[in-house]
């Protein structure tokens, strides 16, 4: 099969490698599409260390072409979304149901070969069957949507509450829609007017670009009180975390702030204001039971994901796809290994 093999930082080789095969309890999947996210980019640059050679790619979907002995959950011909993380199953965290926090977690496309290839092998438990008729362009969002569904759950939204979503990437624009389905009025905070226009099309009641006092003012006006009830931070930058939690913040006293973007740089937070306002800060790490729920929500067709898939590439154009991921005009970039080269 053909695969995009990362042989060293910033060096992909698209080459023919041995076809993988499914052992006991494993499933062989022909990859139909694989999204690119910030984690893939950090793996490519070498900021996130992995073994080389590695076939990255963790946000992918495909069709089952073979199963090993003992597999009952899926069969050849099934369309599946791949849940690319699982815990060790034996540590205290896993046994307490906190597999997303397991220190010995396995991540597909990071610890083992992933979806930037024509085929991939996965344990049965990672394969979530989806209706045959569900479009690839929709099912591709299962993984980021699972991240968002956990973040929203962590925020415990009540119908009629006000929420701010920080960030207008894939996670932010999905969080906006899930919060709206949960009955919240949502303010979206972003950086570019074009993206904020899309947020309004997708249901944002208000949007604002910028940082600091003007954004906090906008949040107070939007909420009609001293800030919004809850915030979901998806941008993963220090500036975004400071906006969520800083002295000039958007959340009301007694409100909840869920952080699900992964900030790699330290943020300057004055904790005096966290105490004084009794702000509830909650981290949200990938997902626990949310993956199947994400597949169901996409199946119901209640989310608009068509506008989020902005760039499509063949496997041979992997470098161009990574460049597109960094382009501010892109939202979700995906590789379609079955496609003929489009570059």
Q: Which positions touch Zn ion (CB under 5 A)?
A: 37, 39, 87-88, 91, 94, 102
Q: How far is the CB of 59 from Zn ion (least distance, A)?
A: 5
CA nearest to 33, candidates 334, 308, 294, 316: 334
Q: CB-wise, 20 or 87, nearer to Zn ion?
A: 87
CA nearest to 199, candidates 176, 229, 223, 233: 176
Task: Annotate 185-207 with b (16+ C-beta within 10 A) or e (fewer).
Answer: bbbbbbbeeebbebbeebbbbbb
Spatial distance between the Cα atoms of 291 and 302, rounded to a whole number of angstroms: 16
Q: CB-wise, 247 or 293, nearer to Zn ion?
A: 293
Q: CB-wise, 66 or 84, nearer to Zn ion?
A: 84
Q: CB-wise, 38 or 129, nearer to Zn ion?
A: 38
Please state, as a whole number, how many other Cβ atoms lie within 10 Å of the Cβ of residue 57. 32
Q: How far is the CB of 170 from Zn ion (least distance, A)?
A: 9
DSSP reduced 3-state for 208 = strand
Q: What is the dihedral of CA 152, 37, 63, 139, to 10 degrees?
A: 40
Q: How far is the CB of 35 from Zn ion (least distance, A)?
A: 7
Q: CB-wise, 91 or 211, nearer to Zn ion?
A: 91
CA nearest to 3, candidates 142, 126, 109: 109
Q: How far is the CB of 279 from Zn ion (least distance, A)?
A: 28
Q: How far is the CB of 160 from Zn ion (least distance, A)?
A: 32
Q: CB-wise, 148 or 163, nearer to Zn ion?
A: 148
Spatial distance between the Cα atoms of 313 and 335, rounded to a whole number of angstroms: 5
Q: CB-wise, 94 or 297, nearer to Zn ion?
A: 94
Structure tokens at 59: 């946000």
Q: How far is the CB of 90 from Zn ion (least distance, A)?
A: 6
Element (H, E) at 229: strand 228-233
Q: How far is the CB of 82 from Zn ion (least distance, A)?
A: 12
Which class for 7: exposed (0-12), middle (13-18), buried (19 or more C-beta within 10 A)?
A: exposed
Helix axes 290-300, 142-155, angle to 10 degrees: 110
Please state, as a whole number, how many other Cβ atoms lie within 10 Å of the Cβ of residue 178. 24
Query: DSSP secondary-structure letter at 58?
Result: -
């Amino acid at each position: 099969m053909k695969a995009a093999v990362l042989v060293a930082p910033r060096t992909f080789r698209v080459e023919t490698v041995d076809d993988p095969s499914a052992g006991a309890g494993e499933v062989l999947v022909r990859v139909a599409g694989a999204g690119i996210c910030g984690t893939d980019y950090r793996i490519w640059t070498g900021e996130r260390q992995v073994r080389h050679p590695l076939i990255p790619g963790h946000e992918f979907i495909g069709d089952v072409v073979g199963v090993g002995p003992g597999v009952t959950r899926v069969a050849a011909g099934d369309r599946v979304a791949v849940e690319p993380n699982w815990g060790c199953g034996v540590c205290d965290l896993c046994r307490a149901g906190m597999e997303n926090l397991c220190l010995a977690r396995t991540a597909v496309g990071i610890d083992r070969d992933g979806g930037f290839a024509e085929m991939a092998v996965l344990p049965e438990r990672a394969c979530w069957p989806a209706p045959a008729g569900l479009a690839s362009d929709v099912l591709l969002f299962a993984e980021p949507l699972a991240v968002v569904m956990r973040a929203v759950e962590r925020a415990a939204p009540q119908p009629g509450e006000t929420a701010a979503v920080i960030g207008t990437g894939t996670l932010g624009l999905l969080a906006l829609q899930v919060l709206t389905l949960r009955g919240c009025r949502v303010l979206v905070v972003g950086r570019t007017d074009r993206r904020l226009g899309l947020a309004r099309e997708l249901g944002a009641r208000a949007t604002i670009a910028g940082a600091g006092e003007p954004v906090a003012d906008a949040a107070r006006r939007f909420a009609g009180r001293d800030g919004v009830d809850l915030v979901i931070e998806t941008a993963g930058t220090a500036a975004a975390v400071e906006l969520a939690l800083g002295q000039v913040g958007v959340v009301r006293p007694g409100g909840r702030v869920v952080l699900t973007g992964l900030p790699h740089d330290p943020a300057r937070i004055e904790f005096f204001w966290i105490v004084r306002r009794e702000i509830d800060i909650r981290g949200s790490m990938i997902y626990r039971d949310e993956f199947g729920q994400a597949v169901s929500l996409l199946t119901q067709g209640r989310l608009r994901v068509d506008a989020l898939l902005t760039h499509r590439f063949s496997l041979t154009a992997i470098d161009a796809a990574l460049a597109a991921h960094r382009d501010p005009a892109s939202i979700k970039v995906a590789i379609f290994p079955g496609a003929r080269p489009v570059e």
